[in-house]
Chain A
Amino acid sequence: MKNGMPEPLGFTLPRAIFFAIFVIFVIVAPTFLYPIFLMKIYCFIIFALGYNLLLGYTGLMSFGHAAFFGMGGYLCGHAATDWGLPFELAVLTGTIFSTALGYLFAKIAIRRTGIYFAMITLALAQMVYFICLQAPFTGGEDGIQAVPRGSILGLIDLRNDTALYWTMAVIVLAMIMLVNRIVHSPFGQVLRAIRNNPVRAKSLGFDVDRFKVVSFALSAGVAGFAGALKTVIFGIATLTDVSTVTSTEVVLINLVGGIGTIFGPVVGSFVILSLEHFLAPYGPWVLFIQGIVFMVFVLVFRQGIVGGLQKVLRKQL
């Protein structure tokens, strides 16, 4: 738009090229990478896309997004197992619940700004964690197990790993397009205005707090959607997904990928999840290395990988 260039669905040429590269990757990847691992990464991409909507484009830092990711998973698992809902409705249940929970969190946390906002979200998420630990429906330490995968509208059987992979591939690509569309819509422009200068945005007549709450709920809903999908893929919803470890993970993914870039969550998820995958046999080394990555990126590479690429190419990605 700046140069009078058309931006169909918010895609400039560089972004379209990046997207095309990722589409090709998604198509060829299962030939050389384990599909379940790829699907896990896709879940975290969606999770991180939702988180980035909040941190990258609205300038609000949440340290409690595991609450939405984890609860989305629990609700989806509960709906599919105990209520016998089909795949679509189970995932929808998780997503709606997380959106509502996000709305509630935002309404409480919005009463303070900046650093306090981050601390409040962390504390609220810890409260959700303790509730999950004790509430009967989450299954405590065991979690909800043997969640059936079901099928899409009774047509595509998701018990088949290949069918599930292609379903996830379509979903993750659609989510990138959706988030890109939201970010580059008039609504997204207001969010970025709030991020850059909340006082100015307010003086222009925008109800800043309302936009923040909507952005937070939207972000929580996307996180819940991702958590619900993860439960479908692995057939299990556990306490890990609702714990601080997961909240930290999504922050790290965004930091490494590039906060406030469309493709940052994609790159960040691949880097961080691969790192965890290969370090997993060495137990506590995961934490140790994650800590180092955190510190190095905060101190010397705050714009992240895609952010750095943006600088080199001088294009918005």
Chain B
Amino acid sequence: MFDININLILGQMVLGMVNGVFYAILSLGLAIIFGLLGVINFAHGVFFMLGAFAAYMLGETLGIGYWGALVLVPVMIGGLGLVVEVVLIRHLYKLDHLYGLLLTLGLALFAEGAIRIFFGPQGLPYSIPDNMRGAVNLGFMFLPYYRAWVVVFGIVLCFATWFVIEMTPLGAKLRAATDNPAMVQAFGINVPVMLTLTYAAGVALAGVGGVMAAPIMSVDPAMGTNIVIVVFAVVVIGGMGSILGSILTGLGLGLVEGFAKAVFPEASSTVIFAVMVVVLVLRPRGLFGKMA
């Protein structure tokens, strides 16, 4: 049952970083949206899935490849996010947070159903960009260039987001509005527009994640719902209070998952949930969470 092989463990942990990057990107968006809007965006996984499908469609219909998609898809998904916030989500701000969860759950079913109707339930292939083929020998494993790119780019993206929120005037306004929206509104900042843009930015981030995932996971309608539940556990483990905390928790859990895959493969799908239980017992507010 327990197969200890250092090369295998290291290899799986490096690959686990790939998943960790997706967890980090998604939990980051979830945390930003929840912080300002008070809505847990169940549809977050669906925007991730839509990002992958958008990349696929850009390739099929317009011949736009991976690099083009990486730039265009976040704009498209962000635009979709604008519409969703204006048409649906903003009507719920005065209600209990649970209604936001229910509404976005409905949105997730709706979008997943629509994609299944158009594309069928099976996964679609999306190939790795030509200039990313091949692998590098790390001594203990062959790491495909594309996966290395996903890890590096994902981490850069996360820290760029962190920088915007923590170090720029725009981020300062955002943090102020999270803390006290009425006061920020009184200073002449248009908070409703800010909410809309925040939602759009959060889901655009998920859309980029989807493009990055397209060549690795197969592009299929269920990919979003599957990952969003894991990301919920990640968010519970990390706590949504801290941006840096979300990033570190996401990456760390990717490593844990990779480790489990090497040592005890049967547990690899449940290990994150098990970590969640342990964290809840030992430190209920989450690793980086503030006390509510």
Q: A residues bordering B, Cβ < 8 Å? A: 61, 108-109, 111-116, 118-120, 122-124, 126-127, 130-131, 133-134, 244, 248, 251, 255, 283-295, 298-299, 302
Measured CB to CB, the closest approach of chain B to A56, in angstroms, equals 12
A-B pairs with lowest CB-CB distance, top 10: A294-B106, A291-B110, A288-B113, A287-B113, A284-B116, A291-B109, A127-B273, A111-B284, A295-B106, A123-B233
* B280 in contact with A299 (CB, 8 Å): no
With contacts A122-B232, A123-B236, A295-B107 known, what are 13 further pairs, Cβ within 8 A?
A111-B284, A112-B236, A115-B40, A118-B98, A119-B236, A126-B230, A283-B121, A284-B116, A291-B110, A291-B113, A292-B106, A294-B109, A298-B92
Residues 204-248 of B contacting A (Cβ, < 8 Å): 225, 229-230, 232-233, 235-236
Measured CB to CB, the closest approach of chain B to A61, in angstroms, equals 5
Residues of B within 8 A of A255 (CB): 102
* A124 in contact with B273 (CB, 8 Å): yes
Per-residue CB contact flags for chain B residues 251-273 toward chain A (1 = under 8 Å, else 0) read: 00000000000000010011001
* B108 in contact with A291 (CB, 8 Å): yes
* B106 in contact with A291 (CB, 8 Å): yes
22 contacts between A and B (CB under 8 A): A61-B101, A112-B284, A112-B285, A115-B101, A116-B236, A119-B236, A120-B276, A133-B269, A134-B266, A244-B225, A251-B105, A283-B117, A283-B121, A284-B116, A285-B113, A287-B113, A288-B113, A291-B106, A294-B102, A294-B105, A295-B107, A298-B106
Residues of B within 8 A of A61 (CB): 98, 101
Given A111-B284, A115-B101, A126-B110 contact (CB < 8 Å):
no
Question: Which residue of B105, B230, B232 is within 8 Å of A248 (Cβ)?
Answer: B105
Measured CB to CB, the closest approach of chain B to A270, in angstroms, equals 20
Residues of A within 8 A of B276 (CB): 120, 123
Residues 19-65 of B contacting A (Cβ, < 8 Å): 34, 40
* B103 in contact with A299 (CB, 8 Å): yes
State the majority secondary structure of interface residues on B: helix
Given A123-B236, A291-B106, A112-B98 contact (CB < 8 Å):
no
Question: Which residue of A108, A123, A130, A289 is within 8 Å of B232 (Cβ)?
Answer: A123
* B102 in contact with A251 (CB, 8 Å): yes
* A248 in contact with B109 (CB, 8 Å): yes
In the bound complex, CA of A288 to CA of B105 (Å) = 12
Given A115-B101, A295-B88, A131-B113 contact (CB < 8 Å):
no
Residues of B within 8 A of A298 (CB): 92, 99, 102-103, 106
Residues of A within 8 A of B232 (CB): 119, 122-123
The verdict on B111 contacting chain A, using a C-beta distance below 8 Å, is yes
Residues 145-181 of B contacting A (Cβ, < 8 Å): none
In the bound complex, CA of A266 to CA of B110 (Å) = 25
Interface size class of B (residues with CB under 8 A): 35 or more
Residues of B within 8 A of A283 (CB): 116-117, 121
The chain B residue with its CB closest to the CB of A251 is B102
Residues of B within 8 A of A109 (CB): 280
* A115 in contact with B98 (CB, 8 Å): yes
* A108 in contact with B106 (CB, 8 Å): no
* A126 in contact with B284 (CB, 8 Å): no
Question: Which residue of A122, A131, A251 is within 8 Å of B229 (Cβ)?
Answer: A122
The chain A residue with its CB closest to the CB of B97 is A115
* A123 in contact with B273 (CB, 8 Å): yes
Residues of B within 8 A of A111 (CB): 280-281, 284
In the bound complex, CA of A290 to CA of B276 (Å) = 30
* B269 in contact with A130 (CB, 8 Å): yes
Measured CB to CB, the closest approach of chain A to B159, in angstroms, equals 26
In the bound complex, CA of A294 to CA of B97 (Å) = 16
The verdict on B80 contacting chain A, using a C-beta distance below 8 Å, is no
Given A120-B280, A288-B113, A289-B113, A127-B274 contact (CB < 8 Å):
yes
* A118 in contact with B101 (CB, 8 Å): yes
Measured CB to CB, the closest approach of chain B to A40, in angstroms, equals 21
In the bound complex, CA of A61 to CA of B103 (Å) = 14
Residues of B within 8 A of A289 (CB): 113
In the bound complex, CA of A251 to CA of B108 (Å) = 14
A112, A122, A298 — most chain B CB neighbours (10 Å): A298
Residues of B within 8 A of A119 (CB): 40, 232-233, 235-236
Question: Which residue of B88, B116, B273, B285 is within 8 Å of A287 (Cβ)?
Answer: B116
In the bound complex, CA of A183 to CA of B103 (Å) = 27
Measured CB to CB, the closest approach of chain B to A76, in angstroms, equals 24
* B110 in contact with A302 (CB, 8 Å): no
The verdict on B290 contacting chain A, using a C-beta distance below 8 Å, is no
Residues of B within 8 A of A133 (CB): 269
Measured CB to CB, the closest approach of chain B to A26, in angstroms, equals 30
The chain A residue with its CB closest to the CB of B272 is A123
Residues 77-124 of B contacting A (Cβ, < 8 Å): 88, 91-92, 95, 97-99, 101-103, 105-114, 116-117, 121
Given A120-B276, A244-B225, A130-B109 contact (CB < 8 Å):
no
A134, A284, A302 — most chain B CB neighbours (10 Å): A284
* A290 in contact with B109 (CB, 8 Å): yes
* B88 in contact with A299 (CB, 8 Å): yes
Measured CB to CB, the closest approach of chain A to B79, in angstroms, equals 20
The chain A residue with its CB closest to the CB of B112 is A287
Residues of B within 8 A of A293 (CB): 106
B106, B236, B274 — most chain A CB neighbours (10 Å): B106
The verdict on B277 contacting chain A, using a C-beta distance below 8 Å, is yes
In the bound complex, CA of A114 to CA of B285 (Å) = 13
Residues of B within 8 A of A288 (CB): 109-110, 113-114, 116-117
The verdict on B1 contacting chain A, using a C-beta distance below 8 Å, is no
